[in-house]
Chain A
Amino acid sequence: DTAVSQTPKYLVTQMGNDKSIKCEQNLGHDTMYWYKQDSKKFLKIMFSYNNKELIINETVPNRFSPKSPDKAHLNLHINSLELGDSAVYFCASSQEVGSYGYTFGSGTRLTVV
């Protein structure tokens, strides 16, 4: 039973398209995150939601819009995709009480052509 699951695992799309990546966690965690790992393997946080409220929003283009329908789900919608959006996107969750670690999903490899 996967703790943090992302779909799809691979996504190939053309420039200008709009796409969504879905994330679900069954750990009962309060906080969820989106990270981006580029071709140089740097992992950067994009967004963080706590109980459906946006709490961290890094300098990410407005074309990226996270949505959290409930605390178990955090989806990422990307408008007008660009070549530079090609990366692996990781979803994660954590329960901050007691300083627990983050649990990451297996990633979504997005390729924009």
Chain B
Amino acid sequence: DAKTTQPPSMDCAEGRAANLPCNHSTISGNEYVYWYRQIHSQGPQYIIHGLKNNETNEMASLIITEDRKSSTLILPHATLRDTAVYYCIVRVTGTASKLTFGTGTRLQVTL
């Protein structure tokens, strides 16, 4: 699975949009981009995933560049409950494919 690069930490004011970047310059054509987050002391939580097109769900939006070498997770109105470590992961689907976590971005949402 392709390696990803994320900033180690970011701050965001409550109510503002949080834009979390991820570089995956070696992504291959059949690899999806997944985002998960881990709130302190909890299990990781699936947020969103995409292949080529931008995606939106009730939690977030995922913007993938046309060359697929980077993506941005957008939390449109961050709240204190969004404080967590956010992981960007690229992988192929299939039962033998592993979901491999890197070090992620620690997002701190402040008042």
- For B25, list chain A residues within 8 Å (CB): none
Q: Chain A interface (Cβ within 8 Å of chain B)?
A: 4, 30-31, 33, 41-45, 48, 50, 55-56, 90, 92, 94, 96, 99, 101-107
Complex Cα distance, B96 from A55, in Å, reads: 6
The 10 A-B pairs at the shortest CB distance, nearest first, are namely: A101-B46, A104-B43, A43-B101, A99-B93, A50-B95, A104-B44, A90-B43, A96-B95, A45-B98, A106-B43
Please indicate which of the listed interface residues A50, A99, A105 has the most CB atoms of chain B within 10 Å of its own CB: A99
Are B45 and A42 touching (Cβ within 8 A)? no
Overall SS of chain B's interface: loop
> What would 10 A/B residue contacts be, using CB atoms closer than 8 Å?
A43-B38, A43-B44, A48-B95, A55-B96, A94-B99, A101-B34, A102-B46, A103-B46, A104-B43, A107-B41
Q: Using a Cβ cutoff of 8 Å, how many contacts connect chains A and B? A: 53
Query: What is the size, in residues, of chain B's interface with A at 8 Å between Cβ atoms?
Result: 23
- For B44, list chain A residues within 8 Å (CB): 43, 90, 92, 102, 104
Are B93 and A96 touching (Cβ within 8 A)? yes
Q: A56-B98, A102-B36 are in contact. List 16 more A-B contacts (CB 8 A).
A: A30-B95, A31-B95, A42-B101, A42-B103, A43-B44, A45-B98, A48-B98, A90-B44, A96-B97, A99-B32, A101-B34, A102-B44, A104-B43, A106-B42, A107-B41, A107-B43
